Amino acid sequence: MPVKTDKLRITVQRLGTRLEELGELGAIAGGGVCRLALSAEDGAGRDLVMRWMRELGLSVSIDGIGNVVGVRAGLEAGPPVMTGSHIDTVRTGGRFDGNLGVLAGLEVIQTLNDAGILTRRPLAVAFFTNEEGARFNPDMMGSLVYVGGLALNAALATVGIDGASVGDCLNRIGYAGPAPCGKPEVHAYVELHVEQGPVLEAEGITIGAVEGVQGISWTEFTVLGVSNHAGTTPMRLRHDAGYVACAIANKAREIAREMGGNQVATVGAINLSPNLVNVIAYKAVFTVDLRNTDEAALQIAEQRLHSFASEVAGAEGVTLTNRRLARFEPVDFDPSTISLVEATARQLGLSVKRMPSGAGHDAQMLARVCPTAMIFVPSAGGISHNVKEFTCPADLEAGANVLLHTLLQLAS
Ligand code: GLV
Ligand code: MN
Ligand code: MN
């Protein structure tokens, strides 16, 4: 006789305690977390989550890029229904981005363990290496390697913002594992994540059934000009790298404003040399992050930006080079898995809306190999990648219950 699971619910206090405990590792002022990928803090976070996985009886494996997968056997063998996310953070991260998806996965496992319920298919909870891309590019690196979208050797050779390589850092924290990557067998993947934007809160809706992830284009520009005295050099004789960087940054914003729709543009990192008040900068290195749900529109934004960049560099007499840090086309999730998330939320009496994701997620890589969808819960004030990131316990509970029942359906 199959066990009735309709009334089954997760325990939000337990989920909250784990979020707090993990949030202590790499804690920074203001209640946030700095656990950059493959740092010592990330290593400590991994050790803790691995310990929890083992305590819950999962069989844990680590692959060559440091992705960790914990599997709970089902009544039948075969590819697991998987959930998960990431536990690395940006330097100014919060406690929920990524961590929620992983720890809600563990909470689902614990709920099933306590109720003595075995699913037909195996269940898996994963955390993927370097989702954020804040230290090593591209973002979603671990899940990209996991699905075979990036060769393991190329990923291991990647050098980060501090000059260290992925391979060396993985070895240092002891997370270069033996499990193979590149050809995973996964029945379906569903990831719970905080929205990281303002829509759900503003509309008073508890659950987002995520339809897909917008396209991401990251470029690093380097401008080389000539340094000189800020007071004595006439404007017409300057080759000012700082000016060119600022003009391109300004243009990126102007393009996004003019295009409208879902086009966004951000210059999040900029470094001038020698970076002094009275010296014209000879060098500027800066990044541009362009995103759009529409691939054709994203390509137009890229073309407009690059053509302006060449023009302004030529006019100022500086050299301009660029390097692509990340480029992913928009991803559509699986229609029937999106519908399942939506229906599950409704069955639990929760308000739900379909929506795109503005942020990148490991789910967009898993979508290459199996039916995939995501569940969003509101972010207070729409704030994320910031120590103030917060989602209230009632919303954490709602999201984790939608995850529980979506996984149960997929695994039955
Ligand atoms: C990852 O968090 C991203 O969307 O930048
Ligand atoms: Mn995330
Ligand atoms: Mn993030």
What tens digit of pLDDT does each residue of 204-235 get?
999 999 999 999 999 999 999 999 999 999 99
pLDDT of residue 4: 80
* Contacts within 8 Å (CB) and 24+ apart, 232-235: 233/280
The tokens for 222 are: 């380097």
pLDDT of residue 162: 96
pLDDT of residue 209: 98
* C-beta 330 within 6 A of ligand 1: no
Residue at token pair 């229906």:
343
Q: CA–CA separation, 93 vs 108, rounded Å? A: 25
Q: Specify the ligand 1 atom closest to the Cα of 385.
A: 2
pTM of the model: 0.95
* C-beta 360 within 6 A of ligand 1: yes
Within 189-284, where are the H helices? 199-203, 241-259
* C-beta 289 within 6 A of ligand 1: no
Q: Are strands 283-292 and 215-224 parallel, antiparallel or unpaired?
A: antiparallel
Dihedral angle sign, alpha carbons of residues 400, 369, 46, 159: negative
pLDDT of residue 2: 54
* Distance from Cα 97 to the centre of ligand 1, integer Å: 10
Within 237-334, where are the H helices? 241-259, 295-316
* C-beta 358 within 6 A of ligand 1: no
Could you read off the pLDDT tens digit of each residue along the chain, which spans 412 residues?
A: 456 899 999 999 999 999 999 999 999 999 999 999 999 999 999 999 999 999 999 999 999 999 999 999 999 999 999 999 999 999 999 999 999 999 999 999 999 999 999 999 999 999 999 999 999 999 999 999 999 999 999 999 999 999 999 999 999 999 999 999 999 999 999 999 999 999 999 999 999 999 999 999 999 999 999 999 999 999 999 999 999 999 999 999 999 999 999 999 999 999 999 999 999 999 999 999 999 999 999 999 999 999 999 999 999 999 999 999 999 999 999 999 999 999 999 999 999 999 999 999 999 999 999 999 999 999 999 999 999 999 999 999 999 999 999 999 999 9
How much is the mean pLDDT over the chain? Answer: 97
Give the ligand with the smallest distance to the CA of 33: 3
Give the ligand with the smallest distance to the CA of 386: 3
What domains, with CATH codes, occur in the chain?
A: 12-213+330-411 (3.40.630.10), 215-328 (3.30.70.360)
